[in-house]
Amino acid sequence: MLRVVLSVLLAVVLLLGCSGNAPKSGIDISGMDKTVRPQEDFYRYVNGTWLEKTEIPADRSRYGSFTVLYEEAQVNLRKIIEESANMENKKPGSPEQKVGDFYTSYMDSSQIEALGLKPLEKELERIAAVKTDDDLRNLMAHFMMIGVQLPFTAWVDQDAKQSDQYIVYFHQSGLGLPDRDYYFKKDEKFSEIRDKYVKHIEKIFKLAGISDGASLARKIMKIETKLAQNHWTRAETRDRDKAYNKFAVNKLDRLTPKFNWAAFMAAIDAGEANNVIIRQPSYIKAFGKILKKVSLADWKAYYTWKLLDEFAPDLPAAFVDANFEFYSKTLRGVEKNRPRWKRAVAATNNVLGEVVGQIYVQRHFKPEAKKRMVELVNNLKLAFKESIDELDWMSEETKKQAKAKLAKFNTKIGYPDKWKDYSGLEIKADDLIGNLLRSRVFEHHREIKKLGKPIDRDEWFMTPQTVNAYYSPNMNEIVFPAAILQPPFFNFEADDAVNYGAIGAVIGHELTHGFDDQGRKSDGDGNLREWWTEEDATKFTERARLMIEQYESYYPLGDSMHINGKLTLGENIADLGGLTIAYKAYKKSLKGKEAPVIDGYTGDQRFFMGIAQVWRNKYRDEALRQRLLTDSHSPPRYRVLGALSNMPEFYAAFDVKPGDPMYRDENKRVKIW
């Protein structure tokens, strides 16, 4: 299945505003630990009691502000979806019929148990029928359309250097473990995970009635290890210049002589595409060699595993339990699977997101929120422009280009102006796997049809009910879905200071992503090109190096695993830049007046407490370990400590002095935006 893949920023969104005669501080005083000095550990000072008293729910790998809002959204979505499911005499093909029948198909566990593997019989027969290299290639094309993992993945997006055109991107894939490092790290934890993974594959084969599962599992692990050996690291893949490699389709066979790319493109209905972008050419070349060395029989075993693995969460309970045991319990430390209704809501949301989203917006998004958010974004843009003017390390030439890009930023808030059309998708109340298969083919063709068409600038890549936000470098836009613009983040009663420290910092974060180490490489039209002077680019890199060194000194688990400073660089730059710009906007909002002291804290103190409170979060060790290897965001605690320890305004607000743990020498502090 082709999917649009963008650099999706995990962000928190709050809305500025207050009501009544006496604004509240917006700080959860009960969650603080005042036995900790703010100069020692500001994150624990603001959140320490909450951290001590809060238990991670058994069905979660982490818990915090985002989780609370996500769970509230799930309850709201359940009500919407179940109303459709319980509706009588639904018109065939109507939104209510599609939503209600999909949910019904997921909740009908008796039907799922009775069917067993029958819904996948045709797919298994398709694998068994493979006799030649051409058959294998056609199988891969079909599996791409139904969302089964291949050694590479693909999606349609704007051409990074010609942002007015769509193109197909190819990216390394094929691994069952979360990252290449899981295959090679030698310490005991990762060795144990590898052993359990092989046993998990064997167990799934046994449940499927496939003999010799132990031998097949070892062969599959061997194939994945070969693929992993040639994967670029996540930090390497972040480099947008190195990952932009345009190839003519008729020349791709030079990378993989045994794989006919033109035939593959035709099989996924993209035969008219003349060019594609290969993000990791050396990996694709290595895949070509692996393709030749691995026998057809072993590839068939590999794809049998990938098929069963993809649909295991939607099969009878034995498959669901086995899938949970490895992917959730072993890899992320989750103790208990989510209730079936939660999984059904999530699945319905994945398949029919904008259908459900239209009702969600009507019930749970206030029009005044969108209006106020637009005003606040504009305030932050103005503060960012002034900050660019004041930079003492950047030339006037580059400043002019930066301001031109900032002026072209587009903002989307709440929900799309134009909703996606699902009229061509067939949904049945008694056919869960069939619904999933048809949905994925439907979405694949939705994406493929973009090729050769004008860019759809109204399109959203998240649903309104998503508790998230993102920045798109190709679109040069920031997007805030409705679900995150509400309590506990959207606080109408909170004082300005804490809201600027929260929503202001996050909007500033989003804006800064257009100017982080990778976002800065695109211009205001979303085109990847060099618009910096060589001297300014060098100065930027020197400042970024300090940030890499800073974050690699943090060891969240207390063992040998530190934060990957190169992988998280863009997010760390955006955290610091966003908070810096938000502080500037807050001070301007006071218009020279002193902020009131509320709950014993000055305005500046509440500003910094606002961002620390936003990022309160707890992780299971297993989940945090996975995050350190795979996530471009630093763990929440270090998003707070790392950014604040670089800000002289924080030092002044809390009297941070040399010798305090929060203190960094001036020559080591990072100042970019």
436 vs 351: CA distance, rounded Å: 8
In order of 46, 149, 154, 194, the CA distances from 305 in angstroms are: 47, 10, 20, 16
Q: Is 465 left (phi over 0), alpha (psi -120 to 50) or beta?
A: alpha
Q: Are 102 and 352 in contact (CB under 8 A)?
A: yes
Q: Which residues of 30-69 are buried (b: 16+ CB within 10 A; e: fewer)?
A: ebbeeebbbbebbbbbbbbbbbeeeebeeebbbbbbbbeb
82 vs 491: CA distance, rounded Å: 29
For Cα atoms 133, 135, 140, give the angle at the middle one, nearest 5 degrees: 95
Look up residue 584 and give its two tokens: 């500037």
Query: Strand, coil or helix: what is 63?
Result: strand
- Mark whether 269 is an active-site residue: no
Dihedral of the CA atoms 62, 66, 72, 74 (nearest 10)? -70
Q: Which of 179, 516, 575, 631 is catalytic?
A: 575
Report the chain's terminal Cα–Cα distance, integer Å. Answer: 39
Q: Which of 510, 516, 571, 622 is catalytic?
A: 510
87 vs 81: CA distance, rounded Å: 10
Amino acid making up residue 476? N
23 vs 492: CA distance, rounded Å: 9
35 vs 44: CA distance, rounded Å: 10
Of 384, 385, 395, the residue nearest 540 (C-alpha): 395
Per-residue DSSP letter, 494: B
For residue 479, give the H/E element and its range: strand 477-481
444 vs 147: CA distance, rounded Å: 9
- Mark whether 354 is an active-site residue: no
Annotate 385-425 with three-state secondary structure. HHHHHHCCCCCHHHHHHHHHHHHCCEEEEECCCCCCCCCCC
Side-chain half-sphere of 133: how many Cα atoms within 13 Å?
13
Q: Which residues of 574-588 are buried (b: 16+ CB within 10 A; e: fewer)?
A: bbbbbbbbbbbbbbe
Placement of tokens 């990378």 in the chain: 255
228 vs 280: CA distance, rounded Å: 13
For residue 472, give the H/E element and its range: strand 470-472
Amino acid making up residue 324? F
Look up residue 319 and give its two tokens: 């498959």
349 vs 50: CA distance, rounded Å: 31
Q: Are 128 and 294 in contact (CB under 8 A)?
A: no
Active site residues: 510, 575
